[in-house]
């Protein structure tokens, strides 16, 4: 069966012209390779093109710095992903409630709803899900205010200055950071509260600066931290070597962390 016949068969099954996400990536690739683009292939198959309406420009109110926006940026920095082409973004979680809470923040800040919630097929756990949003205006704004885009392990970034310089924004940001990447599971009366990230070894210096940003936020609340450790990471399939960076809160300040920042897990 050729590519055109596959598209026509899918349209018959769906009772509508198929979108990109109605097809496997292999079929999409064949459309691009054979016809130059997905839409060109659909035109050849005499199927209706589905063009999205332009996204509405954000209002000044939607662009305002808020605690909600700080939480959104933090979630995308740790357990989320802002697409490199700035067409959309998602976060991942084992807890559907977390995804719905994130959607509430997006609605509150930007007045847009999620496109879909799907199972994360790249995660070993069958209980991991993604919530997707597609809006270029929101995506561009998130990038412009300091949200990293693309693969964060390979990208240099810092905590945005507008968050670092506002104590309540900083509190909101770091609470989400520890929700995503923090651990305190050691079996002892006063366990260590830790946080970590992986970074391409070629940009370790910037990774350390980011960890210092986190530590500086904690210091705003008089929470002491230990030295950032550089530990063995991984050898990726693309040959890039990563290193794990991590530090822990001083055990004497655990109760202060819980009272000032909270533990959302």
Inform me whether the pLDDT recorded for 189 exceeds 80: no
The answer, yes or no, to whether residue 147 has pLDDT greater than 60, is yes
Neighbours of 74 (CB within 10 A): 26
Please tell me the predicted confidence (pLDDT) of residue 122. 64
The answer, as to whether pTM is greater than 0.75, is yes
pLDDT for res 210: 98
**Please, which residues have CB within 8 angstroms of residue 81's CB and are 6 or more apart in sequence?**
89, 90, 91, 92, 152
Specify the pLDDT at position 25: 80
How confident is the model at residue 38, as a pLDDT? 83
Segment 23-32 shows an average pLDDT of: 85
Q: What mean pLDDT is predicted for residues 40-44?
A: 88
Predicted local confidence at residue 123, as pLDDT: 62
| Residues with Cβ within 8 Å of residue 205, at least 6 apart in sequence | none
What's the pLDDT tens digit per position in 95-125? 999 999 999 999 999 999 998 888 876 665 5
Report the pLDDT averaged over residues 248-264.
94
Write out pLDDT tens, residues 49-90. Answer: 766 667 899 999 999 999 999 999 999 999 999 999 999 999
pLDDT at 187 over 90: no
Q: What mean pLDDT comes out for the span 230-235?
A: 92
Q: What local confidence, expressed as pLDDT, does residue 186 receive?
A: 67
Of the candidates 200, 184, 180, 204, the one whose C-alpha atom is nearest the C-alpha of residue 192 is 184
Q: Which domains does the chain have, with CATH numbers?
A: 3-44 (no CATH), 55-150 (3.10.28.10), 152-265 (3.10.28.10)
Mean pLDDT of the chain: 92
Q: Which long-range contacts (CB under 8 A, 24 or more apart) does 175-179 make?
A: 175/71, 175/74, 175/261, 175/262, 175/264, 176/71, 176/74, 176/75, 176/78, 176/264, 177/74, 177/77, 177/78, 177/214, 178/261, 178/263, 178/264, 179/98, 179/264, 179/265
Tens digit of each residue's pLDDT (9 = 90 or more) over 205-223: 999 999 999 999 999 999 9
């Amino acid at each position: 069966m050729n590519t055109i016949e596959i598209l026509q068969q899918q349209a018959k099954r769906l009772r509508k012209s198929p979108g990109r996400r109605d097809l496997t990536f292999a079929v999409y690739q064949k459309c691009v390779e054979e016809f130059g683009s997905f839409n060109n292939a659909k035109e050849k198959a005499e199927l209706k093109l589905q063009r999205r309406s332009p996204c509405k420009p954000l209002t000044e109110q939607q662009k305002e710095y808020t605690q909600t926006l700080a939480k959104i940026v933090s979630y995308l920095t740790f357990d989320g992903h802002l697409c490199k082409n700035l067409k959309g973004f998602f976060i991942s979680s084992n807890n559907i409630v977390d995804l719905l809470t994130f959607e509430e923040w997006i609605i509150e800040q930007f007045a847009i709803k999620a496109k879909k919630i799907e199972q994360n097929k790249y995660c070993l756990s069958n209980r991991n899900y993604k919530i997707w949003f597609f809006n270029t205006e929101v995506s561009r704004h998130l990038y412009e205010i300091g949200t990293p885009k693309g693969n964060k392990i390979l990208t240099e970034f810092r905590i945005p200055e507008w968050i670092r310089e506002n104590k309540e924004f900083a509190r909101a940001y770091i609470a989400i950071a520890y929700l995503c990447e923090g651990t305190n599971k050691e079996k002892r009366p006063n366990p260590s509260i830790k946080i970590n990230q992986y970074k391409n070894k070629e940009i370790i210096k910037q990774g350390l600066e980011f960890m210092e940003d986190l530590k500086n936020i904690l210091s705003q609340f008089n929470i002491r931290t230990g030295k950032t450790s550089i530990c063995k990471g991984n050898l990726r399939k693309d040959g890039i070597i990563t290193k794990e960076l991590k530090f822990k809160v001083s055990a004497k300040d655990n109760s202060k962390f819980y009272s000032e920042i909270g533990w959302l897990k």
